[in-house]
Structure 1
Amino acid sequence: MASVTILGAKGGPALRKDGAMPTSLLVQMGGAQIVVDCGLGVTRGLVQAGVDLRGLSQIVITHLHSDHVLELGPLVHTAWTTGLRTPLHIWGPPGLRAYWDGFMASMAFDCDLRVTDEGRPPLDDLVRLHVLDEGAFTLGPVHARALRVPHPPVTDCFALRLDADGKSLCLSADTAYFPPLADLAQGADVLLHEAMLPQGIEAIIAKTGMGDKLRAHLTGSHSTADQAAQIATQAGVGHLVFYHIIPADDPAFGLTDWQAAISGHWDGPFTLAHDGLTVEF
């Protein structure tokens, strides 16, 4: 049995009372545990999911927007202070090295002190950074493929397909409608696809106090629910799950709105993600 746990279901970096956390996932398949994206709250989410942080070995960052990478450094540091002593592989787009070097510089006092005072191995010696690009790679026993998807103005954003032991999972990352994604997801057991309700955009604009630029970003860089449903149908996947939900924390919109949006575009199993949800496949 394989599974994916939604540690953070919302799209975007803002937090609101009783709302969902930003994007992060725990994938368990082929005997491996893989963290995909590290939005705010990922560390607590992993611990609440029963993960022993000392065993972290594989992390993938799909792109460098803050709601996908903000807590990468704190997660790795917390794993280290919990007792991590084995190599940790982190995959991410160009720019990941700059992020990591900046984080280590910001924590130099603490890291140096814990090595000399507590006898820990140097944190930087445990971390192995890998540049993510299109094509095949491996995450321990899991075969992975990455596909660059359109998420302007970000140029390096990658959808992923993960396969192990006859199980398959595809996740869209952040993307505008992109038909080639259906080829990557072809026949997958589960497709996690970001999704947006167009009727919720103006409420987001009002809450954030932003204007035309944010509206243009949302409409030009993300997929509407019906577009995501079309990808699932084209790919012939077994189960469609919406994550990176926009909006995720507006009580004016609920499950029935999402179901209405995909009606006529997808007629298979459908799940709207929430924090802590585990989907087995």
Structure 2
Amino acid sequence: MAVVGTNDWQAIAYGNGKYVAVGASGYIATSTDGKNWTARIIGTNLWWDVIYGNGKFVAVGLRGSTAISTDGTNWTLSTRTPAYGMRSVAFGNGKFIAGDVGNIGVSTDGTTWTAIALQDSTHVVNKIAFGNGIFVAVTSGGKCYTSTNGTSWARYSTAFGGTNISSIAYGNGKFVAIGYYGNVSTTIDGTTWTTRSDNIAPNAYYMNQIAYVHDRFVAFGNNGYIATSIDGLTWTEPYRVTNESGSTVKTDIFAMIKVQ
């Protein structure tokens, strides 16, 4: 298990032969094998998310900060307006789509952004996923927004009610979203949702994020717990991951990516 610095790492992306992880206090780290990392400081804000698309990495963070790099090592720092904290970023159809409080940011190059106001002006866009030609954004207010072009967005109610939706991922022809206490719902298009009858995690811990890795969905969260599913509705019993020594990992897990 690689230990890089002492700050929290929030997200990870892969592209151009490198892994890029972003986190607190402006830290960005790169690796070619996922084991050996080189960390650097880009700006001073917390980086929430990072994505690779169109030949470049784009990181987004607090106060509307963005950073762009083609190699993961040399970065160009910029700030967009309005200066909200961008919590998530996705890439699809030639566009970078970032989410913040009541807004969606749209960019073709990761540097110049256009802000799109959403119907819900108070809740945070926690995560955005792209699949099958559709962007689906999920919010802390239990709503989701869909768009095919990144500019026009339609809001839909989900089975989460007003409960926070932590994350969403696309794989195997569907979107799967998770929320607090391990609530899970799936959708093909973001409009009609199917919900698991019970949650996948005890109330003692949360599932923070979800990813599609090696032909299955992986939900991961507090205290090192993960659970996996093929279809998004039937899940394994949550268990703690272990390191190379066989010891359980008790730290919170915020990001996961398929090893290339």
TM-score when scaled to structure 1?
0.34
* Higher RCO (C-alpha 8 Å, min separation 6): 1
Q: Which has the larger radius of gyration?
A: 1
TM-score when scaled to structure 2?
0.36
